[in-house]
Chains A and B, each alone.
Chain A
């Protein structure tokens, strides 16, 4: 006869009550693990996305949106331009490893999105683009044949949506231009997947923006020079400097209120679960007052009784915790789907990232929860006087 057996069999007596309490704990733990998993996954994916941008600093014209989500939110407008003289000045800086000029333009296409209409983002780039993003691979086709060719390279998703293959021709409405699809990029998991790339010189010509740029991507030799260069570039008139830290901060701000809400919900769920477990065990203690008295009469010390009741609570929390972890682990895809629907901007990659460390921490957390929830009922039971307990039902 072991104390574990006594505690387990006590719980087994009221199967439905035990199962419901375990279920409550499981839901609370699943919510908590999912949210912490989301926290970790979101930051991971965001960092990954930002790393895949390929540059440490983005210089744009003052007031110009610097990422696709904002651009779309602004209805495809709001673009500001700077002179390419800025590019020519910056390129001389010895701290720069690689640099690439960009010209973004948006075109509204009435026939896109199954006739509902949508913006297509065109980005003018030159050969330096691939130097900053060496991981970019072609699914089919290849790079532009000439710096001013009337050709396009489509991002993976843009090609999927338009159902284009290398060699096809695409029509750019509003400027009435036809471009030849020279290549299609592999999926990168970044906003590049939705863009149509054209040679920079061609973009400046067909969109009637000679000598204009919307952005300059800069990769530094030493990332620690970021802050210093950023400060120096602020002296350039008519431009704004966005470092990756800022981008990360801006996006995290977008989701911070959602995170605060979600974390509050998780904490409330845990609090309710603790109260539920305490209530269940306390009820069970009151129901078993005479049994506890008998155990004391048979030689059980106050600590023996405390251990039995505490173990029952810990069992409930551990069963619930493990079940909750399974639920969170296997239900992470559903949670991810819901989050993607809810958040204004979600980075690519796995949003809910549940790693072993999180599971171990949750396990320890659940154990502590069990200890806390069980303390009061265990104390009540252990302090019962044997005579009063035995005679209570008479």
Chain B
């Protein structure tokens, strides 16, 4: 069995409204292993995105315990979460969320700049080559198709060599052909690079490519399938 790199115990995240407290996710117990490929599935409002944000240290959890790379991050300040994200975590979003003013290559270089990494431009070009965009490195996002933008986002996420890559519906804005290609790319890179992949998807066929599927309903895990 591989080492556990993320461990959630009774993880709960609530949002306070003036009249009530909304439980977005509740009592989540989940172990994520090195090299895992996990698909998180569930209907809209089931808490998938909140769970991904919490596991990805994008915000503080309300209660419970969360350990990332053997560090308890349940109650740490934002500056400590920044440090965890820089070292271990990366993201791919449904809307790609590339920086429009930067070229594909510059977008990929961005996390390296923030993490003060010594990896140079060549490293980023290599990643763009690996996602099949070697000829489009100096293109701006507006000059790329949806599938190409998502490939840039994947290269950007992987350039900093994260331990875990969180992808929030990465194929949600793509057609079925591009969706399949992106998922296969994820699968391939997951095997080659050895990083852990946690993907939110609505697509059951894409979910089948994952090692494990975690299903959520009303903020709680209802099943974990191998």
Chain A residues packing against B (C-beta within 8 Å): 1-3, 5-6, 9-10, 12-13, 290-291, 294-302, 304, 385-387, 390-391, 393
Contact = CB atoms under 8 A, between A and B. Distances in A.
Contacts, number: 73
Q: How large is the interface on B (under 10, 10 to 19, 20 to 34, 35 or more residues)?
A: 20 to 34
B85 to A, nearest CB: 5
A26 B35 CA distance: 56
B143 interface: no
Contacts of A385: 59, 78
B59 A1 contact: no
Given A297-B58, A302-B78, A386-B58, A13 B114 contact: no
B215 to A, nearest CB: 22
Contacts of B86: 299
Given A9-B102, A298-B91, A299-B160, A1 B58 contact: no
B99 A294 contact: yes
Ranked nearest first, the 5 interchain pairs of A and B with the lowest CB-CB distance are A299-B86, A1-B109, A299-B114, A9-B101, A298-B111
Contacts of B106: 1, 5, 9
B102 A6 contact: yes
Contact of B82 (A10, A13, A301): A301
Interface string B74-87: 00001100100110
A5 B111 CA distance: 15
Nearest to B79: A301
Nearest to A292: B99
Given A385-B59, A386-B59, 4 more contacts: A1-B102, A9-B106, A291-B100, A390-B58
Interface of B: 49, 53, 56, 58-59, 78-79, 82, 85-86, 90-91, 93, 95, 97, 99-102, 106, 109-115, 156, 160
B58 A13 contact: no
A5 B79 CA distance: 25
Given A298-B90, A300-B114, A385-B59, A10 B101 contact: yes
B115 A299 contact: yes
Contacts of B109: 1
Contacts of B115: 299
Contact of A299 (B49, B85, B95, B100): B85
Which of B49, B99, B100 is packed against the most chain A CB atoms within 10 Å?
B99
A299 to B, nearest CB: 4
10 contacts: A5-B106, A290-B95, A294-B99, A295-B110, A300-B82, A302-B79, A385-B59, A387-B58, A390-B97, A393-B95
A124 B223 CA distance: 115
B85 A297 contact: yes
Contact of B101 (A3, A13, A390, A393): A13
A297 B78 CA distance: 11
A299 B85 CA distance: 6
A291 B79 contact: no
A390 B58 CA distance: 10
B114 A301 contact: yes
Contacts of B110: 1, 6, 295, 298
A295 B79 CA distance: 14
B176 to A, nearest CB: 23
B114 A298 contact: yes
Which of B49, B102, B114 is packed against the most chain A CB atoms within 10 Å?
B114
Contacts of B49: 391
A291 B109 CA distance: 15
A1 B107 CA distance: 9
Nearest to B103: A9
A32 to B, nearest CB: 32
B59 A3 contact: no
A387 B114 contact: no
B101 A294 contact: no
A387 B101 contact: no
A10 B109 CA distance: 16
Given A299-B82, A299-B114, A299-B115, A294 B58 contact: no
A295 B93 CA distance: 12
Contacts of A290: 95, 97
A296 B97 contact: no
B82 A291 contact: no
Contacts of A1: 102, 106, 109-110, 112-113
